[in-house]
Amino acid sequence: MRPAKTVSPLLWVPTGYFTMALGYVMLTSVTAIMFKNLGMDNGRAAQYSSLLILAYTVKPLFAPFVEMYRTKKFFVLCSQLAIGAGFAGVALLMELPGYMTFLMAIFFALSFIGATQDIASDGVYVTSLDARAQSLYCGIQSLSWNIGPIVAAGGMVYLSGYLHTHVFGHDPGVFGPDWIDAWRIIFLLVGGLTLLMALWHWRFMPEGARAADTPSSAKDAGRILVDAFVTLFQKRGVWRMIAFAFLFRFSVGLLEKIGPFFMVDPASKGGLGLSNEMLGLIYGTYGLAAVLVGSLLGGLYVAKRGLKSTLFVLCCAINIPNVAFLVMSIYTPSSLVLITLGVAIEKFFFGFGAVGFMIYLMQQLAPGKYTTTHYAFGTGLMGLCGMVTGVISGHLQEMMGYVAYFGLVMVATIPSFIATWYAPFYHDDGSTPAAGIDTDGKTVPA
């Protein structure tokens, strides 16, 4: 039985964005912790996991093909089924000798499948909901996406440590092959959860509207891709929009991999010496509560005052976590209360500030003839920023040490503020294009 077209967005928006985030974070962030547990240094662990962001960066190149066959919901379901099966396959491959080569190949394939899921899920959201509904559910969307990292980087990391220590009886302070047993179970669990989400979305997710010019062949899809890029660069102020999409989370990208490494590295290396269990517990409890509250308040704040008047404040918020890590690296607190407070500050302000990025892309960069493709282009730029900063972050940290590195991250906030200050607004908070403004190469009448 197919769901009614009037099904409440509350039945699919939260689960859709949670599932997107769960797969993305498992591939691009949690793998970094796994690599470190398995004995890699910070440079390689951050580099390998960051390279998996590539697919999310180039996803605009295959976004038109999502329009070509069946519906957006069809691609969501197929992607989630493949991701679930793929994670289960990873668990089996870890039993093989020389498994790392196979693992990276599977992870790389899953990243492209995950990027397809993102395109299709975003497409369902922006074509099934009007501008008013998008604004109404933006806080729920951001909150749900942020729960994914908490479950993955919090719950799953905690469980890996618990299994490693209490079930398999290994030393939590020793990194090496003994961690394989615990991580195999983690990937089986994530795979099973993703398959359950696919079943849920088969029942409740709407089909998603099709593009005005749906391709009927690969040639047409290629033509539309070219047209999508042409019309994107015809938008007024597009280069400032692109700069905003790339730079808004620039410092966040430098912090993303190194923050957890700092938590688990021993004091002899300048870290806090937390176990996987404690890291996951802090992120999955107080971190979860903080990001939930921050996302909800951020959404309400934007809904009440409008994006244009709040974007600079949101940029300030998303960069506050950098201060927390710099302070912790200087004083290296041993008190779990202080460490938890630092994490809570990080997650609250990240949740609060991240709302601005997603709404800006939806309401300023995406509107027009190719909404799905242009939105994918914006999120792809975010992925490119995360990949570039992630690849270099581990090597820089090893060269500089934690204190100097987090100081560098503070300096890296400057481009974020510049890009935010000059970000153009040509739509009235996304509801209607302003009169006379060029969108997708056409002038909107007054």
Range from 35-39, 342-346, 379-383 that averages highest in pLDDT: 35-39
The answer on pLDDT for 342 being more than 60 is yes
Per-residue model confidence (pLDDT) at position 163: 96
Q: For the residues 279-295, what does the mean pLDDT come to?
A: 86
Per-residue model confidence (pLDDT) at position 431: 38
Q: Are residues 344 and 403 in the same domain?
A: yes
| Tally of CB atoms within 10 A around 387 | 22
**What DSSP letter does each residue of 137-149 carry, written as one string?**
HHHHHHHHHHHHH
Q: Are residues 230 and 202 in the same domain?
A: no
| 336 belongs to a structural domain | yes
The answer on pLDDT for 112 being more than 80 is yes
- Rounded Cα distance, 186 and 276, in Å: 13
Q: Are residues 56 and 146 in the same domain?
A: yes
The answer on pLDDT for 226 being more than 60 is yes
The answer on pLDDT for 270 being more than 50 is yes
Per-residue model confidence (pLDDT) at position 446: 26
Per-residue buried b or exposed e for 208-242, using 16+ beta carbons within 10 Å of the residue's own CB: beebeeebeeeeebeebbebbbebbeebebbeebb
Q: 219 is in which domain, residue-wise?
A: 214-424
- Placement of tokens 């410092």 in the chain: 251
The answer on pLDDT for 396 being more than 90 is yes
Per-residue model confidence (pLDDT) at position 67: 66
| 441 belongs to a structural domain | no
Q: Are residues 146 and 250 in the same domain?
A: no
Q: For the residues 105-124, what does the mean pLDDT come to?
A: 91
Q: Of 181, 211, 241, which residue sits at a domain end?
A: 211
Q: Are residues 117 and 258 in the same domain?
A: no
Per-residue model confidence (pLDDT) at position 435: 31
Q: Are residues 226 and 318 in the same domain?
A: yes
**Residue 29's closest CA among 148, 205, 116?**
148
Q: Are residues 182 and 300 in the same domain?
A: no
The answer on pLDDT for 247 being more than 50 is yes
What single-letter amino acid sits at 68? M
Instruction: Output the six-digit token pair for 334.
Output: 């041993």
Q: Looking at 74-88, 108-122, 136-150, 312-326, which range is the least confident one?
A: 136-150
Per-residue model confidence (pLDDT) at position 430: 40
Per-residue model confidence (pLDDT) at position 4: 45
| 237 belongs to a structural domain | yes
The average confidence (pLDDT) of the chain is 85
What single-letter amino acid sits at 2? R
The domain spanning residue 150 has which CATH number? 1.20.1250.20
Domain count, the chain: 2
Q: Are residues 237 and 95 in the same domain?
A: no
| 90 belongs to a structural domain | yes
- Rounded Cα distance, 181 and 379, in Å: 35
Provide long-range contacts, Cβ within 8 A and 24+ apart, for 387-390.
387/50, 387/51, 387/53, 387/54, 387/57, 388/253, 389/50, 389/250, 389/253, 389/254, 389/256, 390/28, 390/46, 390/47, 390/49, 390/50, 390/53, 390/253, 390/256, 390/257
pLDDT-based confidence at residue 31 (cuts at 50, 70, 90): very high
Phi, then psi, of 320 in degrees rounded to 5: -60, -35
Is the CB of residue 307 less than 8 Å from the CB of residue 356? yes
Q: What percent of the chain lies above the pLDDT cut of 70?
A: 91
Q: Of 152, 177, 211, which residue sits at a domain end?
A: 211
| 438 belongs to a structural domain | no
Instruction: Output the six-digit token pair for 66.
Output: 């999502």
Q: Are residues 236 and 199 in the same domain?
A: no
Per-residue model confidence (pLDDT) at position 433: 36
- Placement of tokens 């299709």 in the chain: 120
Q: Write the pLDDT tens digit of every residue in 1-25.
A: 444 457 788 899 999 999 999 999 9
**CA distances from residue 341 to 90, 290, 336, 443 in whole angstroms, order as listed:** 35, 10, 8, 50
**Residue 150's closest CA among 268, 18, 40, 36?**
18
Q: Are residues 146 and 223 in the same domain?
A: no
Q: Looking at 158-162, 190-194, 294-298, 328-332, which range is the least confident one?
A: 294-298
The answer on pLDDT for 212 being more than 70 is no
The answer on pLDDT for 214 being more than 90 is no
- Placement of tokens 């990001």 in the chain: 291
**Environment class of 85 (CB within 10 Å of its CB; exposed 0-12, middle 13-18, buried 19+):** middle
